[in-house]
Every structure is written in structure tokens, then in C-alpha cells.
Amino acid sequence: MSRSVAASKIIHIFPGQGSQYRGMGSDLVEEFASAREIFEQASEIVGYDMGKLCFEDRRGELKLTRFTQPALLTHEVACSEALRSLVGSGARPAVAAGHSLGEYAALVSAGALTFEDALRLVSERGRLMGELGTGSMLATTLDRPAATALADRHCCAIAGCNLPEQTVIAGQDEDLEALADELKTAHPGKRAIPLNTEGAFHTYYMVRAAQEFRGMLDATEFAGLELEVPSNYTGTMHVDDAAAIRSRLFFQLFNPVLWVDCMRAAIGTGAGTVIELGGGVGKGDGPATKRPNLGSIVLKTLKSLGAQAKYLPAINAAGIRAAAEYIEQQTTP
């Protein structure tokens, strides 16, 4: 038998806000009954037509955090279920990791949350972040120490560490503008790219949202973890304890997303295959034109660690079929 995919460990990763687009999931529901069921279930839970929101977005609501988060979670779980319908449980992942919002999809994949509970949580999370959020976010090509020194001078904060030299800074708009001006002279050659968000997420500006969200977290049932899941808040694996998971999700709202550490922890388990599920970025129109949001980060992390793993984007119907075919090839005698 050829080398087993399951034996070399599969990692499923789920992107966060910013990877939503009009049309996401429209190809899935045409091809996979499991995806149609997820979208139908989502509509019943949230009280509006999730398909129309994701496929058509006639009122431009996908960019609003209160809609972005439940829509992305739905697409990510639909992708995951579509892949499962093709490969079954024989190639189940050993690790599920998610970036910010994606951590909830990872916890669904790991069995700690039902899709229904996760969708209710992220719907409320998105509402609070959108309503209470102020400021904006800036992705820089600075390392964390340099970004921190700059942020401290302008009352801003570190919101995410995606790579050793890809750090997100967040704050009030006027503070970020001053910071970006200083970056040009203090760090020639480094870039700062504005992110389209409704607030300075994962910073102290989200403390009130987290406080209001805590009650819903506390009231939600968390089951035991069936897979390993890295915590965005700590950058290490979640412990299999409901109270600890709730606490880390609470802190995640107003602390940096330590994605570089999450990826190192996940890949360090001995990953042979990394599959990205859900979302998509790029200027093209429709699922087939989109590229994966986290692909570049995954490949750079693998290279930095000297790790060998196959990366597969399963973000649309074609990608899901390709990922399933690869898994089947690796597990066929």
C-alpha cells in the first residue's frame, strides 16, 4: 500500500473574515446534497435566507460583520461536509485549525461544537463586533517587535501575527494613518495594507464586545474534543476542557490572533497534508475564479519549518473534488 494520508496526518484549516465573497457556496449546493443541507439548516437557525445572502448578496450585506461571520462559517462547514461526503471518515483530519472566526469552524470539525451552536455564537459575535467596533486594521510586513514599537507610539495594538514578518496592527483611523506615515520613513521597503473591517478587531477596542459575548459562551454546551485544535489566543493546542475553551474564545476577541504559532503547532504534529476549506479571495467573479486566503501563509510556514506536506485548497467544488481524488490515490493499495 502507498503511504497513507491518514498516517501522515491531515490538517484542516479554515480562514477568517475577509475571505467572504458574493457567490460563495453557489457551486457547492448544485453538486453536493450535504452542502445544500448545511445552507438550509443555516437559514432556519439565523432566520434569513443564507443562500440568497451568500450567492446573490443583492444588498451588499456580506461586508457587514454581523452577516460576514455566519455566512463564512456556513461556507466553511459546507465545504467540509462536501469533502466528507466524497472521502468518508477514512481520511479524517488529526488537527483542525481556524483563523479568528475560522476557529469556530475548527471546533465544529473537532466535535466540540454543533454547527447549530457555532452558528448562533458567531451570529451574536458578529453582531457585537459590528455594532461596538470602532477603528480599522492595517496588515504590515513588519515583525512583531518592530510593529509593537510602532503601535505603542500611536495608541494602536497588535491584532494578529500571521507570519514572522506579517503583523496586523489595529486602532483608530487617525492613529493608523499617522502610524502608516511613520512606517514609510522608519521602515523603508516595508508595506502597510488597509483591511476592510468594521473595527479594530482582536484589540482592546473589542473588550466591551467580549464582555457582552461571554454570557452566550457560558450558556453554550461544548463537547469533548475529537481532534487537536490550536487556540488563536495562546497559539498552543486547546485543552480538552469546556470551561478552558470558552475562556480562550472570550480572550480571543480582544487579543492578537497568533496564527503563526497555531500553524507551527499544527504542522509540528507531523502533517502530511494541509487542506484549506471555505472562503476565497481575488477579483474574479464566482467560486471558480477565487484563490485560497491562507495558501501563501501555509506554504511559507512549511518552508520556514523545513516541513514537507501537500497543500490542497478545497474552497470550491472543483477543489473539493481534487482534494478527494488526491486522498483516494494516497489510500488506495
> How far is the C-alpha of 22 from the C-alpha of 197, rounded, in Å?
16
Contact 263, 298 (CB under 8 A): yes
3-state helix, strand, coil in the chain (%, to 5): 50, 15, 35
Nearest-angstrom CA–CA distance, 292 and 20: 11
Q: Pick the catalytic residue: 12, 75, 202, 238? A: 202
What is the C-alpha radius of gyration for the chain, rounded to an integer number of angstroms?
19
Task: State whether the Cα torsion 134-135-138-143 is positive or negative.
Answer: negative
Closest to 21 in 3D by CA, of 65, 52, 55, 69: 55
Task: Tell me whether residue 202 is one of the annotated catalytic residues.
Answer: yes
- Clarify whether 187 is annotated catalytic: no
CA–chain centroid gap for 316, Å, is 16
Q: How far apart, in whole angstroms, are the C-alpha atoms of residue 330 and residue 1?
A: 9
CA distance linking residue 271 with residue 312, whole number of Å: 13
DSSP string, 46-74: HSS-HHHHHHT-TT--TTSHHHHHHHHHH
CA distance 312 to 322: 8
Q: Which helix (H) or strand (E) holds 136?
A: strand 136-140
Cβ count within 10 A of residue 90: 11
Query: Which residue among 100, 109, 136, 231 is the active-site one?
Result: 100
Residues carrying an active site annotation: 100, 202
